[in-house]
């Protein structure tokens, strides 16, 4: 399957020297609680349905989450919040995501990171975002037939989406770019989302602890945007 080949290719990427060094250093030193585990320590490919109608776009893998388990949002606090919500709204078969072979399946959803390697302090640079963008373009090109909604988790993913629109769909992004916000929505011109007009873009505050612990993003708010994404995707 083409997506599987893409995942394989992504997993071997070494284009960003700073991120290659960081992901491997974290994998070698580990967190004490995980010292008996073999860290993934490589780029983390997308996960979920090959016929996804919704693409959830995150920031980058967590050093001891996706960079440890090899599956995006798996084994970290952000993922705990995200997968519990996906399960509540009926898009995941189980509420938890702990390891690569834990039986998790997503229906109609694929999850990918804007930058596929864990960055220091969860902060990739704009250059790293642009360097990683071609992987996103290839992934979106493969799910284009079914894709109807992109849910951007945070302003970084929101910004990372626009080049995809021009590269994959040949559509010039609006100028000025619509502002990111929780619930911000950009619909395609001329009709509902489809493989030609492109998907709707929907914003959500990121599921990071910084947002969830402080109540900036509540479970109800997350359920709200996921339900909206389902509606926009015709689910």
Q: Is 138 in the site for ligand SF4 (CB under 6 A)?
A: no
Q: Is 111 in the site for ligand DU (CB under 6 A)?
A: no
Q: Is 55 in the site for ligand DU (CB under 6 A)?
A: no
Q: Is 31 in the site for ligand DU (CB under 6 A)?
A: no
Tell which positions 12-51 bind ligand SF4, by CB under 6 A: 13-16, 19-20, 43
Q: Is 71 in the site for ligand SF4 (CB under 6 A)?
A: no
Nearer to ligand SF4, 48 or 188 (CB): 48
Nearer to ligand SF4, 125 or 231 (CB): 125
Long-range CB contact pairs, 35-38, < 8 A, 24+: 37/68
- Give the span between the Cα atoms of 164 and 158, in whole angstroms: 11
- At 130, list the tokens: 């642009």
Of 77, 145, 142, 87, the residue nearest 112 (C-alpha): 142
Nearer to ligand SF4, 23 or 53 (CB): 23
Only segment of 20-28, 55-63, 105-113, 146-154 that touches ligand DU (CB under 6 A): 105-113
Q: Is 106 in the site for ligand DU (CB under 6 A)?
A: yes
Q: Please, what is the minimum distance in Å from the beta carbon of residue 31 to ligand DU? A: 24
- Give the span between the Cα atoms of 33 and 154, in whole angstroms: 29
Q: Please, what is the minimum distance in Å from the beta carbon of residue 190 to ligand DU? A: 30
Of the residues 37, 96, 122, 131, which one makes contact with ligand SF4 according to CB under 6 A? 131
User: Taking the CB of residue 234, how many other CB atoms lie within 10 A of it?
Assistant: 11
Only segment of 74-82, 125-133, 165-173, 216-224 that touches ligand SF4 (CB under 6 A): 125-133
Of the residues 53, 68, 110, 116, which one makes contact with ligand SF4 according to CB under 6 A? 116
Q: Is 105 in the site for ligand DU (CB under 6 A)?
A: yes
With contacts defined by CB under 6 A, how many residues of the chain interact with ligand SF4? 15
Binding site for ligand SF4 (CB under 6 A): 10, 13-16, 19-20, 43, 115-117, 128, 131-132, 135
Binding site for ligand DU (CB under 6 A): 48-49, 105-107
């Amino acid at each position: 399957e083409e997506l599987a080949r893409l995942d394989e290719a992504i997993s071997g990427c070494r284009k960003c020297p700073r991120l290659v060094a960081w992901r491997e250093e974290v994998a070698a030193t580990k967190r004490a609680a995980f010292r008996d585990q073999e860290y993934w320590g490589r780029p983390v490919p997308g996960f979920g349905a090959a016929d996804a109608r919704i693409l959830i776009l995150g920031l980058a893998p967590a050093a001891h989450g996706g960079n440890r388990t090899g599956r995006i949002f798996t084994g970290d606090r952000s993922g705990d919040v995200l997968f519990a919500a996906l399960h509540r709204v009926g898009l995941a078969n189980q509420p938890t995501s702990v390891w690569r072979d834990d039986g998790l399946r997503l229906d109609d959803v694929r999850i990918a990171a804007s930058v596929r390697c864990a960055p220091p302090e969860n902060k990739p640079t704009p250059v790293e975002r642009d360097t990683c963008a071609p992987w996103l373009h290839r992934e979106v090109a493969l799910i284009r037939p079914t894709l109807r909604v992109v849910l951007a988790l945070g302003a970084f993913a929101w910004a990372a989406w626009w080049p995809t629109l021009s590269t994959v769909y040949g559509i010039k992004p609006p100028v000025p770019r619509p502002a990111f916000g929780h619930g911000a929505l950009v619909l395609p011109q001329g009709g509902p989302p489809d493989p030609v007009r492109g998907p709707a873009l929907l914003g959500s505050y990121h599921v990071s602890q910084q947002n969830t612990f402080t109540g900036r993003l509540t479970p109800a708010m997350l359920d709200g945007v996921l339900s909206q994404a389902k509606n926009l995707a015709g689910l």
